[in-house]
Amino acid sequence: MMHIEPGLQERLKPVFYRERQLRFWCRLAVCWAIAALVGLALVALQRATGWSSALAPVATLLVGLLLALRSSVFANSTFGLADWRRLAHQIEARHPELDARLLTALQQQPDSQGRFNFLQERLLAEVLHSSRGADWTDAIPKSRLAVAQLAHWVALLLFALVLLDLRTTGGHRLLTRGLGPGTVTVNPGDASIERGNTLVVLARFGASLPPNVDLVLGPNVASSRRIPLAKSLADPMFGGSVPDVSSNFVYHIEYAGQRTRDYHVTVFEYPRLERANANIHFPEYTGLQPKRTENTSRVGAVEG
């Protein structure tokens, strides 16, 4: 078992605690970054397949917490001989006046009665004397600790945004707008159509195509009706139709776990002929009297 002289160990404790803090923040930053990547992979899967589950953010949160717990345990684990030597090398790099005496002092072990010989005690005394006028904690600059803390908070913020992204439905995702099919153009969008006609809806995508696209009629889930849209063979476009439109309605397009805004369709009718009367005035040379035809839809005459 490694034995460090109590006075030397006391001088090394501040460096040891700063090193432990640095390891703690670095490991936490890595764990939150890994958890965020796991969440991003789930978001990409949702966008690519249209799959959605309330367990996705829960699973991602559990992964993040387990990694954080594991990182905390490892960061707070005890130092071994190699760790103390590494600290000694860092201190001596900052304080070359030690001339490798600190590393040598760490390697000194007492005899079976727990005592050091004369040369060992002199070496330890010189090292302790040198430490009184020096700040060994500068071997791990505060700037490194600040950068590690900043990296941790950035990674944690990214992880929180991914969790929020997993919980968000519809077209309002925060982080992954570029991972899915991208922008979609809906034609005709808001429209006005004559009663009884067929409405043709086209959805054109600007990037990769989603596997399935649905035309959803109705403002809410309870009263909505879905019509699967068919993909065009050559163009990045899906299309479908609503036959025999008889009343106003709202529709939107759903694809890869996303949806467009609501579009409104209004129905109109042209004026309908209820009754027509015809007054006919013949040319003077015919000698015919004017004639009136009641309730007729057709009027015929000889040309010339």
Q: Per residue in 214-236, pLDDT tens?
A: 999 987 656 678 889 988 777 77
**Helix H or strand E segment including 106:** helix 101-106
Higher pLDDT, 150 or 97: 150
- For residue 266, the model assigns a pLDDT of 93
> Is the Cβ–Cβ distance between 265 and 200 less than 8 Å?
no
pLDDT-above-90 percentage for the chain: 11
- For residue 111, the model assigns a pLDDT of 66
Torsion-angle region of 218 (φ positive above 0: left; ψ -120 to 50: alpha; else: beta): left
How many Cα atoms sit within 13 Å of 28 on the Cβ side?
22
Q: In what order do the strands lie in the sheet with 237-242?
A: 184-187, 199-205, 237-242, 230-231
Q: Per residue in 8-22, pLDDT tens?
A: 667 777 777 888 888
- Measure the N-to-C terminal CA separation of the chain; round to a whole number of Å: 127
pTM for the full model? 0.45
- Domains annotated on the chain, with CATH: 6-167 (no CATH), 184-268 (2.60.40.10)
> Is the Cβ–Cβ distance between 64 and 35 less than 8 Å?
yes
pLDDT band at 39 (very low <50, low <70, confident <90, very high): confident
> How many Cβ atoms from other residues are within 10 Å of residue 91's Cβ?
22
C-alpha angle 34-36-37 in degrees, rounded to nearest 5: 65
Q: Work out whether strand 199-205 and strand 278-280 pair parallel, antiparallel, or are unpaired.
A: unpaired
Alpha carbons 41 and 166: distance in angstroms, whole number: 10
- For residue 30, the model assigns a pLDDT of 82
Q: Per residue in 43-68, pLDDT tens?
A: 666 655 555 555 555 666 666 667 66
